[in-house]
Structure 1
Amino acid sequence: MAQSLNLSAGFTGLISLAQAGFYGIGAYCAALLSTRYGVSFWLSVPVGMLIGGLIALLISFIALRTVEDYFIICTMGIQVILFSLMNNLSGLTGGPLGISGIPAIRLFGVELDGKVSFLLLSLCFVIVVWFLLRNISRSGFGRILRAIREDEIYTQSIGKNVYQAKVISFTLTAMLATIPGALYAHYITYIDPTTFTMEESIFILSIVIVGGMGSLLGSIGAAAFMILLPEGLRFLGMPHEVAGNLREIIYGLILIIIVMTGRLQGLLLWKRGRINK
């Protein structure tokens, strides 16, 4: 999810808070297709990507008319709408009760219901998405996206179709976000709307920021760090009465230090470059 968001937020500068919504679209597509129609995971993934891409394409015609802070607020509204649809379309999504009984993924007739086998499958998808986004970032289209991030007006002045590039970037981001949704649904075997909230979108955006905007490997490292850090804090041996609150405080302080250190390093490098120049 963090890698997919890096395509729009990191490469293009389109910071989106609707990532969890598209994540949920992938999960519900996989859940509905497998439980109601017996469709396998390998077919539900491309179907989910297609549906997520079509929804993102329609949304982009409106959302990408806005810029910067207004675009962020617009994607926030999109996230709220998608969550509300998942929560209220009871006949389709099961509403607050969700969907249960999602079957395990089968590969060559073997069920991938173990943790190790599912981890290996997930890593394969991570590598494929990383390889795809790395090639995009090194292509001519990727250079256009980075140019838009740095100076949109200049990019438009040299004859590049900025609006079209933004639409493609936002749509591809949504399509890739549906893949982990399908994986999640088949791994947990039960989904409900509470997983696909605004808080999840903010958390994914935090991973991208901590790992470095536009850094695919940074997203992988930051995801591992931000997931494992709270678990590691459980072994500090703090009193049970205050352990929960102290862990949250320490976690927040560590994130603040990381972000501030990164900014300070960037500031020092900038000053050094100015002095050398």
Structure 2
Amino acid sequence: MNYIMEIFIFSFIFIILASSFNLLLGLGGLFSIAHSIFYGLGAYFSALLVAHTEMPVLLAMLLSMILTGMFSLLLAIPTLRVSGDYLAIASLGFSIVLIDMLSNFEFTGGSAGLTGIKKIEIFGWGFTESWMFAVFTGGIAALVLALINWIAKSPFGRLLRGIREDETATMGLGKNVFLIRISVFVMASALAGLAGGLYAHYFRFLSPDGFGLSNTITIICMVVIGGIGTLWGPVIGAFILMGLPELLRFLTLPPNMIGPLQQILFVVIVLLFIYLRPNGIIGVKSKCKESGEQTKLESTEEGVVIR
């Protein structure tokens, strides 16, 4: 039972990660490879704040979100005047440097990892069972989805879509494209930091290896499989990529075969969905409808956030 609950907990954490990355990519049109490192920074910030200040865990998680968002400015400010390949390359280098730093600093536990992290408590009441933490994490994931949906439908969300579709036209309207890009980058990074705090205070062990490039690839695959720019796409992608490979553990296979087979199944799932559903399970297909001199871009699939 605890194992099944852990699958749900991991899935909810990755729903937050994939949805926040979808906010960045699907809504803002920004492709960053540093999303996983902000997940890691949120985890380390929260764990270290509790360890060295003895503040309540929930407060530490909130502060870690703010710190992660502020830290993301180190990457956002010099790179977001342009996007595309430059942002992807810069974010990759940023991730490599920070992983190396986390692996060598003594106060982060170095490459051996950080242990003894405090569990989450609410007014002195802790989660004694895995299902309790699963419910709590699921509730946080639901709040994050509601927030992203609200952002997408707000005037700020419409500005983001305008920049994604036609940056020059948006600038022509007098909008500060650079500031808008920084804002969505900080929001997405802060939400990744929230996911990191949840991870740290449940599993109570952090290692820099868990926040590397492979984790970013997993997040990207979840968004692509579910459907870029949709509300429920990252949710479906997270459950598929977290749940299906774990089914192998219920088969009578030698333990040393399960890990490699899970990786193979992961790759097969991704390739199948890219081939069969290149737009994702809840894909976004657009068509142009002309009326006089105006052309309107509309989404034609249900469940689409970006309209």
TM (norm. structure 2) is: 0.81
In structure 2, what is the Cα distance between the partners aligned to 1:243 and 1:24?
26
Aligned pair partner of 1:161 in 166, 170, 176: 176
SS in structure 2 at match of 1:216? coil
Judged with a 3 Å threshold, the aligned counterparts in structure 2 of structure 1 residues 126 and 239 are, in CA distance, closer, same or farther, namely closer
Partner of 1:30: 46
Unaligned residue ranges in structure 1 (runs of 5+): none
Judged with a 3 Å threshold, the aligned counterparts in structure 2 of structure 1 residues 240 and 134 are, in CA distance, closer, same or farther, namely closer
CA offset digits 1:90-145 (Å, max 9, x no partner): 1x212112221112111132111421010011011101111111100000110111
Q: How many Å apart are 1:246 and its aligned residue?
A: 5.0
Partner of 1:135: 150
In structure 1, what is the Cα distance between the partners aligned to 2:209 and 2:262?
23
Q: How many Å apart are 1:64 and its aligned residue?
A: 0.9
CA offset digits 1:142-171 (Å, max 9, x no partner): 011112222222222233221111010101
Aligned pair partner of 1:200 in 194, 197, 215: 215
Partner of 1:210: 225
* RMSD, aligned α-carbons: 2.7
Does the 8 Å CA contact 1:105/1:113 hold for their aligned counterparts? Answer: no
| Bigger RCO of structures 1 and 2 (CA < 8 A, at least 6 apart) | 1
User: Does residue 60 of the first structure (1) align with residue 76 of the second (2)?
Assistant: yes
Amino acid across the alignment from 2:238: A
Instruction: Compare 143-152 and 255-264 and name the one that shifted more.
Output: 255-264
SS in structure 1 at match of 2:244? helix
User: Does residue 221 of the first structure (1) align with residue 236 of the second (2)?
Assistant: yes
Q: How many Å apart are 1:241 and its aligned residue?
A: 8.5
Partner of 1:230: 245
Amino acid across the alignment from 2:116: G
Judged with a 3 Å threshold, the aligned counterparts in structure 2 of structure 1 residues 254 and 165 are, in CA distance, closer, same or farther, namely same
In structure 2, what is the Cα distance between the partners aligned to 1:76 and 1:236?
37
Does the 8 Å CA contact 1:104/1:113 hold for their aligned counterparts? Answer: no
Amino acid across the alignment from 2:25: A
Instruction: Spell out the pairing of 1:1-277 with structure 2 (5 A cutoff).
Output: 1-90=17-106, 92-235=107-250, 245-263=260-278
Q: How many Å apart are 1:12 and its aligned residue?
A: 0.7
Amino acid across the alignment from 1:32: L
Aligned length: 273
Which structure features the higher share of helix residues? 1
Unaligned residue ranges in structure 2 (runs of 5+): 1-16, 291-307
In structure 1, what is the Cα distance between the partners aligned to 2:258 and 2:197?
34
Does the 8 Å CA contact 2:246/2:262 hold for their aligned counterparts? Answer: no
